[in-house]
């Protein structure tokens, strides 16, 4: 899709630090890591958000989970553990409107926090 940052990364128009890819998914390092390991897992197909995932995308969701497993193993965090997060919409603080999952690890991440002080 035109004007989508992550479609541009998929097409190679914007560079990324790739971890792995296949014909359906791409894993690359987040430009502003929030943990020692922070990568993004995206479908190559443009899907704007989790709200737009359709039944026909079921296989893609499995592919994304497989890619998360593979990336975690490759990045050495499979045993120590990790967190997989999808931000959806305004309240979820989604800033890039191409479905993506954050894979975070490499340190104890602490409890999941909800409302941050800046939005409370």
3-state helix, strand, coil in the chain (%, to 5): 25, 20, 55
Note whether 31 binds ligand AMP by CB under 6 A.
Answer: yes
Note whether 21 binds ligand AMP by CB under 6 A.
Answer: no
Question: In whole angstroms, how close is the CB of 117 to Zn ion at the nearest point?
Answer: 32
Question: In whole angstroms, how close is the CB of 26 to ligand AMP at the nearest point?
Answer: 11
Note whether 3 binds ligand AMP by CB under 6 A.
Answer: no
The count of C-alpha atoms lying within 13 angstroms of the C-alpha of 97, restricted to the half-sphere facing its C-beta, is: 9
Note whether 16 binds ligand AMP by CB under 6 A.
Answer: yes
100 is catalytic: yes
Q: Which residue has the tokens 């097409």?
A: 11
What whole-number distance in Å separates Cα of residue 46 and Cα of residue 1? Answer: 6
Q: Which residues contribute to the site for ligand AMP (CB under 6 A)?
A: 5, 14, 16, 30-32, 40, 87, 93-96
């Amino acid at each position: 899709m035109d004007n989508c940052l992550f479609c541009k990364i998929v097409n190679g128009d914007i560079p990324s630090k790739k971890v792995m890819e296949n014909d359906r998914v791409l894993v690359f390092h987040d430009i502003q890591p929030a943990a020692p390991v922070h990568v993004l897992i995206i479908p190559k197909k443009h899907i704007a958000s989790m709200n737009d995932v359709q039944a026909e995308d079921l296989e893609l969701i499995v592919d994304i989970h497989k890619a998360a497993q593979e990336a975690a193993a490759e990045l050495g965090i499979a045993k120590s553990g990790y967190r997989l997060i999808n931000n959806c919409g305004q309240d979820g603080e989604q800033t890039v409107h191409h479905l993506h999952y954050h894979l975070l690890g490499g340190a104890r991440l602490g409890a999941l926090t909800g409302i941050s002080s800046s939005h409370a």
